[in-house]
């Protein structure tokens, strides 16, 4: 487990920075709710009637004036984008970073198989992503309890579970991409996460593109769909499959690729 611990140590600073920023922004947003609650009903009517903008962001389905609707719109987008970028950036740097930093030749001289190295790196990625989501869940739920609002625990847990699954899927895909690169592709990671996000918006605008729901995890991690109890089994299974295939490809490819010195 040496590689696993090493990845956790080397990623600790980045993990703390992202956790503080994303979790802190979520707590701030929740803290603003009481001061805005007086005008929430008017804002809810306004947002729900903004045509395609409302449809794209699910504001025509969410009750923005309620704490859960507000949380799903504001905090959900913060964690949905921030967590996805963190998972993508971390995963993409795991395998390609060894070659880009010219440390692969040192690492591979040790009596550890490439498959074990890649598997421990993947395990570290999983722990870091889960840790980020636990901290953000604590910030969000703690903020709701602090301001004294009634919380729908079942919906909140389902929503955060979907966000976690979404980030793990993106992390798995980027881990597979990392095995194809010879240096860290941070721009590629950010681009993939952004592309999947915009796919989620496009589905809301054009029902003819609903087949994209089996590609982008932002479909099943959408607060409007979760809070309205839509059936999301198919997209969730497709997302899990894509994430597992991406991670599996990364393990397979790294065990067989020619490592640049």
* 260: pLDDT strictly greater than 60: no
Tens-digit pLDDT profile for residues 169-208: 999 999 999 888 877 677 888 999 999 999 988 888 877 8
CB 149 within 8 A of CB 32: no
As a whole number of angstroms, the distance between CA 73 and CA 66 comes to: 11
Q: What is the mean pLDDT of residues 54-69?
A: 68
As a whole number of angstroms, the distance between CA 194 and CA 192 comes to: 5
* 45: pLDDT strictly greater than 60: no
Please compute, for residue 259, the number of CA atoms within 13 A of its CA located in the half-sphere on the CB side: 19
pLDDT of residue 204: 81
pLDDT of residue 174: 94
pLDDT of residue 105: 53
Could you tell me the CA-to-CA distances from 187 to 85, 92, 118, 191 in Å, in that order?
A: 11, 10, 22, 6
pLDDT of residue 37: 65
pLDDT of residue 116: 87
For the chain, the 3-state helix, strand and coil shares in percent, each to the nearest 5, are: 80, 0, 20
Q: What is the mean pLDDT of residues 106-131?
A: 83
Q: What is the mean pLDDT of residues 8-31?
A: 95
Dihedral sign, CA of 59, 171, 180, 105? positive
Tens-digit pLDDT profile for residues 138-158: 999 999 999 988 888 999 999
Could you tell me the CA-to-CA distances from 199 to 43, 77, 124 in Å, in that order?
A: 26, 14, 28
pLDDT of residue 9: 93
Beta carbons within 10 angstroms of residue 123's beta carbon: 15
pLDDT of residue 250: 92
Who has greater pLDDT, 189 or 48?
A: 189
Burial class (CB in 10 A: 0-12, 13-18, 19+), 173: buried
3-state secondary structure 156-224: HHHHHHHHHHHHHHHHHHHHHHHCCCCCCCHHHHHHHHHHHHHHHHHHHHCHHHHHHHHCCCCCCCCHH
Q: By mean pLDDT, which of 3-7, 94-98, 117-121, 166-170 is the weakest?
A: 94-98
Burial class (CB in 10 A: 0-12, 13-18, 19+), 32: middle
Structure-block tokens of residue 160: 């955060």
Please compute, for residue 256, the number of CA atoms within 13 A of its CA located in the half-sphere on the CB side: 6
As a whole number of angstroms, the distance between CA 90 and CA 107 comes to: 19
pLDDT of residue 213: 92
CB 79 within 8 A of CB 22: yes
* 52: pLDDT strictly greater than 90: no
* 209: pLDDT strictly greater than 60: yes
Residue positions counted in the chain: 261
């Amino acid at each position: 487990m040496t590689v696993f611990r090493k990845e956790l140590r080397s990623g600790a600073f980045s993990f703390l920075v992202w956790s503080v920023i994303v979790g802190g922004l979520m707590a701030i947003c929740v803290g603003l709710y009481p001061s805005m609650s007086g005008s929430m009903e008017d804002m809810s009517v306004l947002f729900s009637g903004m045509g395609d903008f409302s449809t794209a962001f699910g504001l025509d389905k969410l009750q923005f004036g309620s704490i859960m609707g507000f949380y799903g719109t504001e905090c959900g987008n913060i964690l949905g984008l921030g967590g996805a970028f963190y998972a993508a950036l971390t995963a993409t740097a795991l395998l390609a970073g060894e070659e880009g930093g010219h440390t692969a030749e040192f690492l591979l001289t040790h009596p550890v198989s490439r498959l074990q190295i890649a598997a421990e790196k993947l395990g570290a990625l999983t722990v870091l992503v889960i840790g980020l989501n636990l901290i953000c869940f604590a910030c969000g739920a703690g903020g709701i309890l602090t301001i004294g609002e009634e919380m729908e625990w079942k919906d909140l847990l389902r929503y955060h579970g979907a966000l976690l699954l979404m980030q793990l899927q993106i992390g798995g895909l980027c881990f597979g991409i990392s095995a194809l690169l010879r240096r860290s592709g941070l721009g590629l990671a950010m681009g993939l996460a952004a592309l999947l996000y915009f796919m989620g918006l496009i589905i809301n605008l054009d029902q003819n593109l609903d087949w994209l729901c089996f590609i982008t995890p932002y479909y099943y991690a959408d607060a409007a769909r979760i809070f309205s109890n839509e059936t999301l089994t198919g997209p969730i299974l497709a997302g899990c499959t894509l994430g597992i295939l991406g991670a599996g490809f990364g393990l397979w490819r790294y065990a067989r690729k020619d490592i640049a010195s």
